[in-house]
Amino acid sequence: MPEQVITFHTHRPTAPPAGRIAAAGLFLRRHRKLILSIQWLVVVFYAALVIIPAFLPLPPQGAHIWDNLRLFAQFIFWGVWWPGVMIATVTLGRVWCGVFCPEGSLTEWVSQYGRGHPLPRWLKWSGWPFVAFVCTTVYGQLVSVYEYPQAALLVLGGSTVAAVAIGLLYGREKRIWCRYLCPASGVFAVLAKIAPLHYKVDRDAWDRHADTFEPVNCAPLVDMRRMTSASECHACGRCAGQRDAVALSARSPFAEVLNLDAPARTPEAITLLFGVLGVATAAFQWTVSPWFPKAKLSFAEWLVEREHFALLDNDVPWWLLTHYPEASDLFTWLDGALILAYLIGGGFLLGGLLWLSTALAAWLIKDSRLNWQRFTLALAPLAAASVILGLSMLTVSHLKAEHFWLGWLPAFRIALLAGGGLATLWLSGRLLLLSQQTAWRKWSAWLVMYLPVGSMTGLWGLVFFFW
């Protein structure tokens, strides 16, 4: 683990990079007190949105988001906040993590007063973000986290408590939770790869100024000198101008995936395939799928015919399965089992089919630089479109309830899905141009990459236009 105690200095670079974009990064570095104030405001607002609604009664008939605090908090948090976070990550990099995230702010703050234990090997396992994302997503669906503030307080509050606990145990002024355990970290890492803004490091300039700048406290423990990816950088701006070598810069959204020197890590590829495109897609879709109620009815009839009624019991704790009698919303054990099967089984089946496509494309090209992980990263634009479409379903449900005009919605959905699919195909084609293989192998691999695009487009088409 890198050095635990590093003093943060507000030393200004002697030759700051030119340009408004670079100046924005320097502004973040030079105004840390302002950033800290914003972070604490977000912490207070986040706590209010999560805690207060959990103690409010169900909204009465005819309540609106503008006159009922519970509905307002639900709309702001799930209908505006989280879609906005994903859009910000795709466009600005992980600025949410570095500037606004309440869990990141809290875990870093408490780590100043913690024990500072060295990190155990198990904690640094690279698979934790994926496992945490899948578990949080599935559990959230079982307890209806989007609909009930008690469930939101349990899931999100539990995550925040865990972040604080990790901060107290490990690190000094570091974000150990964010780097290794955060359930959303893997998703942010994937989406940030196609962000048109990133912190660019000039290695030659870094080495030339080795003795002229004080070290910077990089809270997520990024090796700044060797940083070639936006995935781990929290875009907080603390290193902007460091050694006259680090600058917030514009780039092509496809630059990182096409840069074969930038890492294409297996954990990120698995998160993209089985997490963002697999389990998350299933989580967004199961409530509108006609297959789910048909399966439930068939299993229920089978159980009744054999007089097996245990799975049909709905006397289940609310923190295990959705149980709100006052809202006539009660899950049975059968509901829970089928949700698990749909999300885990369906999500991993979809992820596996997508992996077969990227693996086949890599096999056709037979280039160690263009492995299945690299082709999987080409699906990042499609994954971004998918997760934004899924989260916006919550936004749309609130707007429909308030009778907002949504005539623009079909065109928006088609445009977003088409944009993600076309960007993925273009990116795949550019990767194939880097290969020295024969033309027929390149064309075959490119046609194979149509399968993920067609699969995801077909699934979302069913949701929006047929189901």
Would you say 26 and 237 are in contact if contact means Cβ atoms under 8 Å apart? Answer: yes
Residue 241, classed as helix, strand or coil, is coil
Judged by phi (left if over 0) then psi (alpha if -120 to 50, else beta), residue 173 lies in: left
Q: What is the DSSP letter of 50?
A: H
Residue from 282, 103, 274, 86 nearest 189 by CA: 86
Q: Is the pLDDT of residue 26 over 70?
A: yes
311-354 confidence digits (pLDDT tens): 999 999 999 999 999 999 999 999 999 999 999 999 999 999 99
Q: Is the pLDDT of residue 2 over 70?
A: no
268-289 confidence digits (pLDDT tens): 999 999 999 999 999 999 999 9
**What's the Cα-to-Cα distance from 442 to each of 95, 157, 192, 221, 359, rounded to whole Å?**
37, 49, 27, 39, 14
Q: Alpha helix (H) ranges present in 125-200?
A: 128-142, 149-169, 176, 185-192
Q: Tell me the two tokens of residue 319.
A: 């923190």
pLDDT of amino acid 6: 39
Judged by phi (left if over 0) then psi (alpha if -120 to 50, else beta), residue 171 lies in: left
pLDDT of amino acid 298: 95
Stated pTM of the model: 0.91
Residues facing 198 on adjacent strands: 249
396-414 confidence digits (pLDDT tens): 999 999 999 999 999 999 9
pLDDT of amino acid 18: 53
pLDDT of amino acid 16: 45
Q: Tell me the two tokens of residue 43.
A: 């912490």
